[in-house]
Structure 1
Amino acid sequence: MTRSFNFSAGPSTLPLPVLEKVQKEFLSFQGTGMSIIEISHRSNYFEEIMEQTEQLLRELMNIPNNYKVLFVQGGASLQFSMVPMNLLTSYNTSYYVNTGSWAKKAIAEAEKYGEVHVQNCPIHHIPKLSLDSISLVDYVHITTNNTIEGTKFASIPNTGNVPLVADMSSNILSEEYDVEKFGVIYAGAQKNIGPAGLCIVIVREDLVGQNTLHTLPTMLNYETYVKSNSMYNTPPTFNIYIMKLVLEWLKQLGGVQQIEKINKEKAALLYNFLDESTLFYSNVHIENRSLMNIPFNTTSSQLNEQFISEATSAGFYFLKGHRSIGGMRASLYNAMPIDGVKALVSFMKQFEMKARMSNV
């Protein structure tokens, strides 16, 4: 069987060795004669998976001991509500940096629970922000990488004593971050971690259980997950199992430091071509170009449609851009092999040559 190149923004491609191990163990996990999806979450088998998964994540991200790691269902979108519900503790006010579509959705949810101050940024550029003088807010929220717009923060803003909350859904584990700069980090799994349906929340322990302004439903309270080790109810067991395998793959590869080098190399292959091309182009400010999500266009919508159609036929899947901005988008998450990017660039060169010849 020939594997296609999956450039989807999520759910995204997974490492082939992980898929092969899942396939091998699916009918009988560790010789039990049971599939991992059949094994009780209260069993020693699964408790060991949970412990190993958390330890691997702590090691790969260098997470300090005073941070809790939570496994939550509902995807990152549920965190749009859980963050304000848990962190609006003193001022009932938050500060959001609006850098794109997902930030807008987070803002809309936060506005249901308190006052929100918003700083808007251009769609293709995130200016360097001075946020250390912000006061009388409970937290500052950013989206480190914008999946749709293809932008990222070139540097993480300093928010002083105000906790910084980051949605890292589309670039967690793709480059190194200092966890201590953040009060909360959350990320949906379906980009660099595993299948959709799991969300990772990394929260500083002093921010847990401090809410006195709202009555929190049990399953929307970070304290519930801390006290129960994320097993107050049945967690997404299969997703966590696959996450463990992905983290093992990443560790064997050399960890986040090594994958960041690989990701920069992959992104440079495509960006360099876009910068030299007379047909394809990127609108994103060079300083803020994402390593994970690369939107691009041709000189006409007709050529865009033709490119997407021919690329799909050639085995390059899900290159159509998000409906809100159109064009194309290539998502180069950790599991995308460098050969996939090289093959895509080669195909784009051939497409450009044909387009040029047809206009001669």
Structure 2
Amino acid sequence: MKRKMYNFSAGPSYISREIMKDICLGLDDSKRSGFSMMEISHRSNIFMEIVHELQGGLRNVLDIPENYEVLFFHGGARGMFSAIPLNLFQRNEIVDYLIGGYWSNYAYREGLKYCSARSVEIIKESRNDIVSLLPVKKWDLSNKSKYVHYCHNETVEGLRAHIEDIDDIPKDKVIIADFSSSILSEPIDISKFGIVYASFQKNMGIAGTTVVIIRSNLIEKPRHDSIPSILDFSVQLKNSSLYNTPSTFSWYVSTLIIRWIRKNGGVRKIEQMNRKKAELLYNTIDQSQLYINSIDMKYRSMMNVTFRTKSTKIDEKFVEFSEKSGLLFLRGHRETKGMRASIYNSMPYEGVKALVDFMKYFEHQYFFKDISFF
């Protein structure tokens, strides 16, 4: 019997085997057209059905209000780090960027090119090196800023901000949120935000596309005349996100994932499963004498669980032997080292259980000093 293997990569991520079967059908012959979904024209009736299903399905599962537009772009979240300020911010406009980790810092650094971006540190580190977030009242927000940018889930550090925290941000500010690694993993009150954006390759599908959910009154003439048309929100809206040839197969896969979410009870049911998986993994870490997680329990990510052992040498052994056990891509980000298990929506509970079983076995071997193992 073939051994099961699980992909714990931060992205491109694990895809449900059920969805994978549907993807394979699309590779062969879609709707008996005689063509693969990879080769149909983005102007064809078949693809327009995909466009309508994807937009409608996303509106349904996220309960997107009518006064918001759903747009799709190339370029990933990094593309939006540039596109958003090019569309919205004046050159000398003050914009607050909340810095909670690796990706929010990248967004800030890109924003510096196009506006008077301000770095607002929201991280608090205790004496015992436990990382948490400062309360909103201690965030150094500018009285002159109209926009606030934040990242809901920091993929690298395994830190999750809470949507409820932003309720304390002054109501006159427009909140722009990067949900790349957490969209569709839990309910979102879209009306709290001016923009919610996310790249596909975590919970929405395969790499190649980014979704932008934007309040309609924010789509105006771009603030920078030099903006490429492909990044212009008004151009993409006018052309139904088809100004250029999109990543057609990426869009198709996302329709399958939206169907899978609806079939499995919607985002609230998906959230329950995600909490169950995360609790299993975090409980194993907390009850261990070998593994360490440095994120305050309140702010631990449900999507990206980071941990390490007592030395980099043991970490390397963990990664080496986990791969031999069919548990792939657990090596942590190059900035943080250690290990990282990305357990997005499609990762089944049995995949996390397989990881937990290996972690316990590895710890047992370590403490009993099994020379053949180490």
Query: TM-score when scaled to structure 1?
Result: 0.96
* Further displaced range: 202-211 or 38-47: 202-211
Q: State the one-letter code of the partner of 1:65.
A: E
Matched, 1:36 2:43: no
Which residue of structure 2 lines up, in the alignment, with residue 218 of structure 1? 229
Structure 2 CA distance, aligned partners of 1:288 and 1:192?
A: 20
Which residue of structure 2 lines up, in the alignment, with residue 87 of structure 1? 88
* Further displaced range: 46-55 or 19-28: 19-28
Which residue of structure 2 lines up, in the alignment, with residue 235 of structure 1? 246
* Further displaced range: 227-236 or 134-143: 134-143
Which one of 152, 160, 168 corresponds to residue 152 of structure 1? 160
Which residue of structure 2 lines up, in the alignment, with residue 24 of structure 1? 25
Q: Contact conserved, 1:296 with 1:327, CA < 8 A, in 2?
A: yes
Matched, 1:60 2:61: yes
Structure 1 CA distance, aligned partners of 2:223 and 2:332?
A: 43
Residues 123-162 of structure 1 aligned to structure 2 (within 5 Å): 124-130=131-137, 134-154=142-162, 155-158=164-167, 159=169, 160-162=171-173
Q: State the one-letter code of the partner of 2:149.
A: H
* Further displaced range: 89-98 or 126-135: 126-135
Which residue of structure 1 lines up, in the alignment, with residue 324 of structure 2? 313
Q: CA distance change for structure 1 residues 257 and 145 in 2, over 3 Å: closer, same or farther?
A: same
Q: Partner of 1:137: helix, strand, or coil?
A: coil
Superposed CA offset, 1:253-284 (max 9, x none): 01100000000000000101111100011001
Superposed CA offset, 1:39-86 (max 9, x none): 111111000100000000000000001100011001110000011111
Which residue of structure 1 lines up, in the alignment, with residue 11 of structure 2? 10
Which residue of structure 2 lines up, in the alignment, with residue 112 of structure 1? 113
Structure 2 CA distance, aligned partners of 1:336 and 1:120?
A: 32
Which residue of structure 1 lines up, in the alignment, with residue 74 of structure 2? 73
Structure 1 CA distance, aligned partners of 2:31 and 2:135?
A: 50
Q: Partner of 1:308: helix, strand, or coil?
A: helix
Which residue of structure 1 lines up, in the alignment, with residue 128 of structure 2? none
Structure 1 CA distance, aligned partners of 2:309 and 2:140?
A: 40
Q: Contact conserved, 1:166 with 1:186, CA < 8 A, in 2?
A: yes
Which residue of structure 2 lines up, in the alignment, with residue 208 of structure 1? 219
Q: State the one-letter code of the partner of 2:79.
A: L
Q: CA distance change for structure 1 residues 41 and 210 in 2, over 3 Å: closer, same or farther?
A: same
Q: Contact conserved, 1:126 with 1:152, CA < 8 A, in 2?
A: no
Matched, 1:165 2:176: yes
Structure 2 CA distance, aligned partners of 1:184 and 1:331?
A: 25
Which residue of structure 2 lines up, in the alignment, with residue 334 of structure 1? 345
**Structure 1 position 4, deviation (Å):** 1.0
RMSD between aligned residues: 1.7
Structure 2 CA distance, aligned partners of 1:302 and 1:134?
A: 45
Q: Partner of 1:21: helix, strand, or coil?
A: helix
Superposed CA offset, 1:144-170 (max 9, x none): 000000001133413312110001000
Q: State the one-letter code of the partner of 1:28.
A: D
* Further displaced range: 91-100 or 186-195: 91-100
Q: Partner of 1:342: helix, strand, or coil?
A: helix
Q: Contact conserved, 1:172 with 1:192, CA < 8 A, in 2?
A: yes
What runs of 5+ residues in structure 2 fail to find an aligned partner? 126-130
Q: Contact conserved, 2:91 with 2:116, CA < 8 A, in 1?
A: no
Structure 2 CA distance, aligned partners of 1:37 and 1:105?
A: 33
**Structure 1 position 116, deviation (Å):** 1.1
Q: Contact conserved, 2:159 with 2:299, CA < 8 A, in 1?
A: yes
Residues 334-353 of structure 1 aligned to structure 2 (within 5 Å): 334-353=345-364
Q: State the one-letter code of the partner of 1:83.
A: I
Q: Contact conserved, 1:149 with 1:295, CA < 8 A, in 2?
A: yes
Query: TM-score when scaled to structure 2?
Result: 0.93
Q: Contact conserved, 2:7 with 2:327, CA < 8 A, in 1?
A: yes
**Structure 1 position 232, deviation (Å):** 0.8
What runs of 5+ residues in structure 1 fail to find an aligned partner? none
Structure 1 CA distance, aligned partners of 2:173 and 2:122?
A: 21
Count of aligned positions? 360
Q: Contact conserved, 1:87 with 1:138, CA < 8 A, in 2?
A: no
